[in-house]
Every structure is written in structure tokens, then in C-alpha cells.
């Protein structure tokens, strides 16, 4: 049984041009992530799956990185991560019993020690997956929608005025990493499932980067760390 990291990094980002190799505090963001992966010293193999020659060139200088050349039909805006990891598992002949960690190339605040800790947790669990989550800072059950002139257009919640301390905390996928066996990745089993385990990030310990404003916040947080 081996521990394998797979970083899915396609080239066609829309909101942030060349997002996966954009400079983050002076270095390509994917290299920042790869450095933590390597520093963890727990992986027998590190694979970057990409369709983009620029990404291949950026990561080729990293030590002990294998490149998986992703096909165009798995590189569009609609292809899910699980399909990509499944494809890598089959094409790279990964074992059903390997511990495979999918790590996103823009997980800018990822730390090596977190990978070490979560591998230990995953090995002790009976879960198909172990993945990172964060807590909504304000109860989502009290939310409502507004229109483009800032008027409320939807308020279906009966809990809008309920005390926050009386509402269960709700969590969301932090979009940093996912531990699973080769078997469950190949089967594309459900990740967000009641039987799976999570690693809870604090509010400032991870930051999902969707747009340039997120990028700016993540750089400031990384500078503080």
C-alpha cells in the first residue's frame, strides 16, 4: 500500500487567468502547494494531472513529480474532480488499496503537518473519505436572497429571527484536500456523505480562491502565517 498525492491542475481557468501557475507571493501557486506536499514526507508518489503545457513546464523543475497528461474531454468546465482522479487511478495503474490524496493546486494555506495529521486520522477511520471543511461563520438557516437593487426577493426560512445559539452549526467543503482509497476513487463514491470523516479548518486557516479578491485575501493570510 502506497500513499499517493494527485494534484488536478487544468489550464482553462476563467475568472483568474492561468490561475494554477499565477504567482502567489512570488512563486507559482501550484509550486507552493507542491512544496508542502513534499515537506510532509508521507507520499511515495506525487502526480500532477494537467492538460496544459505551461503547467507541465512549471512543475517539471520540482523533484520527484510525475506528470499525468490529461485528455481534453476531462479538461472542460463541467468535468468533476472525481472523474479526473478516477482516470488517473486507471491510467497510472494505482492500486485499490493505495491511500490517495487529491489536493487542489490553489490550496495556498496548506501545511505539511496537516497532511501528516489527516493521513493518520484516515488510516484509523473506517470512512471512504476524509476531507477538509469549514464552518459557516453565521447560521446559513437565517439567510435570504436579494435582487440587484438590494431588495429581499426570497425568504423561505422560518428561522430568520431565531437565536443563533439555538441553530445547529453548518459546515462546507473547504476545497483543499480529500483522502480516499484507490478503490473508492475508482468507484466515484459520494464524498459528502454521513459516513465520511472531516478535518475542520479554523476560519483563517484555509481560504478558497474563486476570484481576484479571494486571491488578495489569501496572500495576506499567507503573509501572516
Q: Tell me, what DSSP letter sits at residue 33?
A: H
Banded model confidence at residue 161, pLDDT cuts 50, 70, 90: low
| Under 8 Å between Cβ of 59 and 34 | yes
Question: Which residue would you say has higher pLDDT here, 160 or 180?
Answer: 180
pLDDT over 80 at 225, yes or no: no
Q: Can you give the pTM of this predicted structure?
A: 0.88
Annotate 52-95 with DSSP letters as a single string.
-HHHHHHHTTSTTEEEEE--GGGSSTT--HHHHHHHHHHHTT--
20-43: per-residue pLDDT in tens? Answer: 999 999 999 999 999 999 999 999
Class of domain 3-133+172-219 (CATH, top level): alpha beta
Other C-beta atoms lying within 10 Å of the C-beta of residue 62 = 16
Q: Residue ranges of the alpha helices (H) in 60-211?
A: 81-91, 112-124, 182-187
What does DSSP say about strands 145-146 and 129-135: parallel, antiparallel, or unpaired?
Answer: unpaired
The Cα-based distances of 57 to 48, 54, 92 in angstroms read 11, 5, 20
173-193 tens-digit pLDDT:
999 999 999 999 999 888 988
For 35-74, write each residue's pLDDT tens digit. Answer: 999 999 999 999 999 989 999 999 977 768 999 988 776 6
**pLDDT band of 168, cuts 50, 70, 90:** confident
Amino acid at each position: 500500500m502506497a500513499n499517493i498525492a494527485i494534484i488536478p491542475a487544468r489550464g482553462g481557468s476563467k475568472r483568474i487567468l492561468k490561475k494554477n501557475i499565477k504567482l502567489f507571493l512570488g512563486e507559482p501557486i501550484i509550486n507552493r502547494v507542491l512544496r508542502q506536499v513534499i515537506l510532509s514526507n508521507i507520499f511515495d508518489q506525487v502526480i500532477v494531472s494537467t492538460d496544459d503545457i505551461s503547467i507541465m513546464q512549471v512543475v517539471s523543475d520540482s523533484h520527484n513529480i510525475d506528470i499525468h497528461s490529461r485528455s481534453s474531454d476531462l479538461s472542460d468546465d463541467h468535468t468533476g474532480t472525481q472523474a479526473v482522479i478516477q482516470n488517473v487511478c486507471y491510467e497510472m495503474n494505482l492500486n485499490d488499496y493505495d491511500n490517495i490524496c487529491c489536493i487542489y493546486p490553489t490550496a495556498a494555506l496548506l501545511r505539511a503537518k496537516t497532511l501528516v495529521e489527516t493521513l493518520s486520522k484516515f488510516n484509523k477511520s473506517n470512512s471512504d473519505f476524509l476531507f477538509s471543511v469549514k464552518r459557516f461563520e453565521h447560521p446559513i438557516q437565517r439567510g435570504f436572497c436579494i435582487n440587484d437593487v438590494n431588495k429581499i426577493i426570497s425568504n423561505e426560512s422560518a428561522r430568520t429571527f431565531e437565536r443563533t445559539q439555538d441553530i445547529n452549526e453548518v459546515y462546507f467543503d473547504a476545497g483543499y484536500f480529500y483522502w480516499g482509497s484507490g478503490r473508492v476513487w475508482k468507484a466515484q463514491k459520494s464524498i459528502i456523505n454521513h459516513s465520511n470523516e472531516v478535518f475542520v479548518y479554523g476560519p483563517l486557516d484555509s481560504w478558497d480562491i474563486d476570484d481576484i479578491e479571494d486571491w488578495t485575501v489569501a496572500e495576506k493570510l499567507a503573509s501572516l502565517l
